[in-house]
Chains A and B, each alone.
Chain A
Amino acid sequence: MQRRDILKAGAAAATLGFPAIIRAQQKEVVILGLWDQTGAFADVGPLNDRGMRMALEERDMKILGRPVKYVTRDGATQAGTSTRRAEEAIDGEGARFMIGPWSSGVALAVSEVAKRKKVLHLFSGGTEDISGSRCHRYSFQWAASPYTAAKTVVDNFMKANPKAKRWHLLVADYAFGWSVEKYIKEVGKSHGIEFVGADRHPLGEREFSNYVQKAAANRPDAVAMINFGGDAVAGAREIFNFGLTPKVPLIMAWSSGVEELIQLSPEIRENLWVGTNFYYTADTPVAKKFVANYRAKFKTPPGYAPSAAYSMTRLLLAGFDKAKSVEVQDVIKALEGIEVNDLLGPMRVDGATHQTLRPYFFLRCKPKKAMKEELDLADLIATGDAPLPKEYASCKDIGGF
């Protein structure tokens, strides 16, 4: 073989191999899941992680031909830790897209990091501020607006219990609790509801006897809890122990659904009414497939936490697809106004506020004798998607990049 032939062969090989090298060198897309593994929501973080991972694995950990590098950090359900670890992942790992955390109060701090670092941020929680007074171009809210939730819960509960006009509220004392409480009271006015008491408790409260004692003394027609996770479970248990339920209906206005309900005995769940961002019997093709896969993998059906992480990740991936780009600003523009038929059915992201407009679910738990199996927990009795009326909207200008 001549020297020239060798050079030709080398050149041919290089030409053939070059695109492959280019492909291999295409930069990976780093997505951060900021999920609590410690602190008040330590039990929720692993569930969030499951949902997010499932959505990415459906795409073989690839987007637009590029590999996705999924990194997670434990925010410890604390603003300081969450912001520090988010910044570390952004600076150290090169994360440009971020989902989480789970606590509203913490997420507001993380949202500021997203704005400063120019990182796309998706979040699901009960504070209205992310798509309200503290809205900006980089953060998106997946959960229903607290108004949508309050309207769905109050309207449908009153439809079934028109005489229950005296309500006592138990409210988690942080951003999420305040937002939902405000709108429950607002919507309650139109039904002539009298709020005979409203006690706030700290996040992570487990001793509810004192709160329930006060609630019992008020002799309400209904007790509504605006809290979440372990707080909601502890509260519901104590309300039952005091003998309020099942005589007095109990409303969990913003529940994780399955994860909370399976921690309560069927006796405690009797006359329990539940508002939630997701319930596993949602009748959509995406939900059916997701629920089947999740059950096959983890035995139990998914509640709000894994479903939110799953759906937020799918929404982000839909943004990449629409943008045909992995640049943060392109994906943000693509997500603004995006319409998808996904986990919850029709979902749309309001470009002006970054609030996802989507249905909210209202359930009534089944009495023990009506349950067909252990996880036949509740009937889905209504969904609601009333958007936040303009007069309440506090995101006046989403701003620029």
Chain B
Amino acid sequence: MLYALMGLGLSLITGVLNIPNFAHGALFAVGAYFLVSLVNFAGNFWLGLLVAPLGVALLGLLIEYAGIRRLYAAGHDYQLLFTFGLALILNELIIVIWGPVGISQLPPAILRGGVDLGFTFYPKYRLFVMLMAGLLVLLTWLFLEKTKYGAIMRAGIENKEMVSLLGIDIHRLFTVAFALGAFLAGIAGALTAPIRGLSPGMGVDMLGIAFVVVALGGLGNLLGAIAAGLLIGVAQAVVAAYWTEASTAVIFAVMALVLLVRPQGMFGIR
């Protein structure tokens, strides 16, 4: 579900803005670090979980408004270099602010330990993350499918010129899409912190997986990103149960297989 959340955010940005956001992993990491700082400051995990992704969304808004917006006319190479450079800067900033050594964040007391599900033993916090991520994916999907602004956003993915011609402020649409994508990356990072801990390079692994999800689902295809995120997660869990050593390799094996059969991704048209 976390993969779906990351993939959905990245797919939204890739679809609407038509740029590959290499800073998506760094935004994921920033979400986790924001959470830890907020928990340390306020002593409340839930408050941190609520505020940290909003902080990342605000950061995303600034990045789009102050940086990416100036590069829409410059072409893909510049946008790619900008997001790539941004990822490096954010990564170094994390080291400067929070240090190079990894940090652990405990789950809230109520979600510590595991539960016996009968057929397996599973941590309570992971179950909570599954539910939360599922709920967030559902809410995002409802926003995109059932609200007017969601429809505009989907229309923006299909045909930007037409949306612009209809009198809709396309620049604002880009800003909102980037901020929403950043929010999803931030909350995925915050939710992941107690599971994987924090380290400056934590975004890099997740970025790779997010790109796999986007490529698998089809570029800019939001439903595809959700389906691909779930497929990758399930494939990883199933393989891990029988052949733990291959649990990481399976992510890329699935991608290679799908792209061999459907080069445009599972649901992609381009």
B-contacting residues of A (Cβ < 8 Å)? 42-43, 46, 173, 199-202, 205-207, 209-211, 213-214, 216-217, 230, 233-234, 237-238, 241-244, 259, 262-265, 267-268
- Which residue of chain B is the closest to A265 with respect to CB atoms? B104
For the complex of A and B, the 3 pairs showing the least CB-CB separation, nearest first, are: A210-B240, A243-B113, A243-B114
* CB under 8 Å from chain A, chain B span 205-259: 205, 236-237, 240-241, 244-245, 247-248
Q: How far is the CB of A213 from chain B (nearest CB, A)?
A: 6
Query: Whole-angstrom distance from the CB of A43 to the nearest CB of chain B?
Result: 7
Assuming the A-B contacts A202-B245, A210-B237, A217-B120, are A43 and B194 also in contact, with contact meaning beta carbons closer than 8 angstroms in the complex? no
**Interface membership of B51, Cβ < 8 A:** no
Residue numbers in A under 8 Å from B106 (CB-CB): 265, 267-268
Cβ distance B37 to chain A, nearest Cβ, rounded Å: 16
Q: How far is the CB of A308 from chain B (nearest CB, A)?
A: 18
Q: List chain B residues, Cβ under 8 A from A230.
A: 102, 199
Contact, CB under 8 Å: A263 / B120 = no
Q: Name the residue among B104, B122, B201 with the largest chain A CB count within 10 angstroms.
A: B104
Q: Which residues of A contact B114 (CB under 8 A)?
A: 216, 241-244
B110-142 CB contacts (< 8 Å) to partner A: 112-114, 120-123, 125-126
Knowing A230-B199, A263-B101, A268-B104 touch, does A205 contact B248 (C-beta < 8 A)? yes
Q: How far is the CA of A238 from the CA of B240 in the complex (A)?
A: 15
Given the contacts A241-B126, A243-B123, A263-B102, A206 and B196 also touching, CB distance less than 8 Å: yes
| Given A262-B101, A265-B105, 11 further pairs, Cβ under 8 A | A43-B100, A201-B245, A207-B236, A207-B247, A210-B244, A237-B104, A237-B196, A241-B126, A241-B194, A243-B114, A267-B106
Whole-angstrom distance between the alpha carbons of A201 and B103 in the complex?
22
Q: A43-B100, A262-B101 are in contact. Are A207 and B113 (CB under 8 A)?
A: no
Query: Once bound together, how far apart are the Cα atoms of A242 and B197, in whole Å?
Result: 14
Tally chain B residues at the interface, Cβ within 8 Å: 32
Residue from B103, B205, B240, B241 whose CB has the most chain A CB atoms within 10 Å: B240
Contacts of B126 in A (CB 8 A): 209, 241
Nearest chain-A residue to B125 (Cβ)? A241
Would you list 20 pairs from A and B whose C-beta atoms are within 8 A, ordered by A residue?
A46-B100, A200-B244, A202-B245, A205-B248, A207-B248, A209-B126, A209-B195, A214-B241, A216-B114, A216-B121, A237-B104, A241-B194, A242-B113, A243-B114, A244-B114, A262-B101, A263-B101, A263-B102, A263-B197, A265-B105
B245 pairs with A213, CB closer than 8 A: no
Q: Does B107 contact A (CB under 8 A)?
A: yes
Known A202-B248, A263-B197; contact A233-B123, beta-carbon cutoff 8 A: no
Known: A234-B196, A241-B125, A241-B194. A214 touches B102 (CB 8 A): no
A216 to B121, CA, bound (A): 7
Give the distance in Å from the alpha carbon of A243 to the alpha carbon of B120 in the complex.
13
Interchain nearest-CB distance for A184 vs B (Å) = 19
- Complex Cα distance, B125 from A100, in Å, reads 40
Chain A proximity of B219: nearest CB distance (Å): 26
* Whole-angstrom distance between the Cβ of B206 and the nearest chain A Cβ: 10
- By a CB distance below 8 angstroms, the chain B residues around A206 are 196, 205
Bound-state CA distance A46–B100 (Å) is 11
Contact with A along B74-118 (1 / 0, CB 8 A): 000000000000000000000000001111111100001110000
Name the residue among B100, B120, B121, B241 with the largest chain A CB count within 10 angstroms.
B121
Kindly report which residue of chain A lies nearest to residue B120, judged by CB atoms: A213
Q: Verify A173–B245 contact, CB threshold 8 A.
A: yes
Determine the chain A residues whose CB is within 8 A of the CB of B240 once the complex forms: 209-211
Q: Given A216-B114, A241-B195, A242-B123, A259 and B101 touching (CB < 8 A)?
A: yes
Query: In the bound complex, what is the Cα–Cα distance between A4 and B125 (angstroms)?
Result: 94
Given contacts A209-B126, A213-B120, A233-B102, contact A241 B107 (CB under 8 A): yes
Chain A residues with CB under 8 Å of B205's CB are 206
* Minimal Cβ-Cβ distance residue in A for B112: A243
Interface centre among A43, A202, A213 (most CB of B within 10 A): A213
Q: Is A200 a contact partner of B245 (Cβ separation < 8 A)? A: yes
Across the two chains, which residue of chain B brings its CB closest to A42? B201
In the complex formed, the residue of B with least CB distance to A46 is B100
In the bound assembly, the distance between CA atoms of A201 and B120 in angstroms comes to 21
User: B residues within 8 A CB of A173?
Assistant: 245
- Chain A neighbourhood of B122, CB < 8 A: 213, 242
Q: How long is the Cα–Cα vector from A230 to B201 in the complex, in angstroms?
A: 11
The residues of A that contact B236 with a CB separation of less than 8 Å are 207, 210
CB of A263 within 8 A of CB of B104, answer: yes
Which chain A residues lie closer than 8 Å to B113 at the CB level? 242-243
Which residues of chain A come closer than 8 Å to B107, judged between CB atoms?
241
